[in-house]
Amino acid sequence: MDVNKAKETLNGILAVMDKDALTDADRKKLVSDSIGNYNHFINPGWLKYRKSVSTNEAFVEWTDHGSCFSDVYGEEFIDCLGGFGIYNFGHRNPEIVKRVEMQLRRQALHSQELLDPLRGYLAKAMSELTPGDLQYCFFTNGGAEAVEMALKLARIATGRRWVISSVGGFHGKSMGAVSVGGKSTYRVPYLPLIQQVSHVIYGDIEDMRKTIEKLDKVGESVAAVILEPVQGEAGVIVPPPGYLKEVRALCDRYGIALILDEIQTGMGRTGTYFRCQAEEVTPDVMTYGKAFGGGVMPITGLIARPHMWTQALVENPWILGSPTFGGNPLACSAALAALSYMVENDVAAQAKEKGEFLLGRLSAFREKYPSLVKDVRGIGLMVAVEFSGPAYGYAFAKGMFSRRVMTAGTLNNSACIRIEPPLTIAYGDLEKVLVRMEEALSDVRKEAMP
CA atoms within 13 A on the CB side of 443: 16
Domain end call among 344, 367, 387: 344
pLDDT, residue 174, reads 80
- In order along its 450 residues, the chain shows pLDDT tens digits of 999 999 999 999 999 999 999 999 999 999 999 889 988 998 887 776 654 454 445 688 999 999 999 999 999 999 999 999 999 999 999 999 999 999 999 999 999 889 999 999 999 999 999 999 999 999 999 999 999 999 999 999 999 999 999 999 989 888 777 787 887 878 888 777 788 989 999 999 999 999 999 999 999 999 999 999 999 999 999 999 999 999 999 999 999 999 999 999 999 999 999 999 999 999 999 999 999 999 999 999 999 999 999 999 999 988 999 999 999 999 999 999 999 999 999 999 999 999 999 999 999 999 999 999 999 999 999 999 999 999 999 999 999 999 999 998 887 678 999 999 999 999 999 999 999 999 999 999 988 765
Label residue 445 left, alpha or beta by phi (over 0 means left) and psi (-120 to 50 means alpha): alpha
Q: 197 and 297, same structural domain?
A: yes
Q: 339 and 364, same structural domain?
A: no
Q: 197 and 257, same structural domain?
A: yes
Enumerate residues 6+ apart whose C-beta is below 8 A from 182. 165, 166, 167, 168, 169, 170, 199, 202, 234
Q: 236 and 193, same structural domain?
A: yes
Asked whether residue 89 is assigned to any structural domain, the reply reads no
Asked whether residue 294 is assigned to any structural domain, the reply reads yes
Domain end call among 344, 369, 386: 344
Q: 337 and 351, same structural domain?
A: no
Q: 365 and 314, same structural domain?
A: no
d(CA 315, CA 141): 24
Asked whether residue 21 is assigned to any structural domain, the reply reads no
pLDDT, residue 412, reads 67
Domain holding 380: CATH number?
3.90.1150.10
Q: 257 and 396, same structural domain?
A: no
Q: 332 and 358, same structural domain?
A: no
Q: 361 and 268, same structural domain?
A: no
Asked whether residue 291 is assigned to any structural domain, the reply reads yes
Q: By residue range, what is the domain housing residue 421?
A: 51-80+347-448
Domain end call among 327, 344, 361: 344
Amino acid residing at 367: E
Helix-helix angle 205-217:243-254, to 10 degrees: 10
Q: 380 and 245, same structural domain?
A: no
Question: Judging by beta carbons within 10 Å of its beta carbon (0-12, 13-18, 19+), is residue 306 exposed, middle or buried?
Answer: exposed
Domain holding 238: CATH number?
3.40.640.10
Identify whether the C-beta of residue 94 lies closer than 8 Å to the C-beta of residue 64: no
Domain count, the chain: 2
pLDDT, residue 55, reads 47
Asked whether residue 43 is assigned to any structural domain, the reply reads no
Q: What is the pTM of this model?
A: 0.95
Asked whether residue 12 is assigned to any structural domain, the reply reads no
Enumerate residues 6+ apart whose C-beta is below 8 A from 159. 221, 223
3-state per-residue secondary structure call for the chain: CCHHHHHHHHHHHHHHHCCCCCCHHHHHHHHHHHHHHHHHHHCHHHHHHHCCCCCCCCCCEEEEEECEEEECCCCEEEECCHHHHCCCCCECCHHHHHHHHHHHHHCCCCCCCCCCHHHHHHHHHHHHHCCCCCCEEEEECCHHHHHHHHHHHHHHHHCCCEEEEECCCCCCCCHHHHHHCCCHHHHHHHCCCCCCEEEECCCCHHHHHHHHHHHHHCCCCEEEEEECCCECCCCCECCCCCHHHHHHHHHHHHCCEEEEECCCCCCCCCCCCCHHHHCCCCCCEEEECHHHHCCCCCCEEEEECHHHCCHHHHHCCCCCCCCCCCCCHHHHHHHHHHHHHHHHCCHHHHHHHHHHHHHHHHHHHHHHCCCCEEEEEEECCEEEEEECCHHHHHHHHHHHHHCCEECEECCCCCCEEEECCCCCCCHHHHHHHHHHHHHHHHHHHHHHCC
Asked whether residue 248 is assigned to any structural domain, the reply reads yes
Q: 124 and 74, same structural domain?
A: no
Q: 166 and 219, same structural domain?
A: yes
Asked whether residue 120 is assigned to any structural domain, the reply reads yes
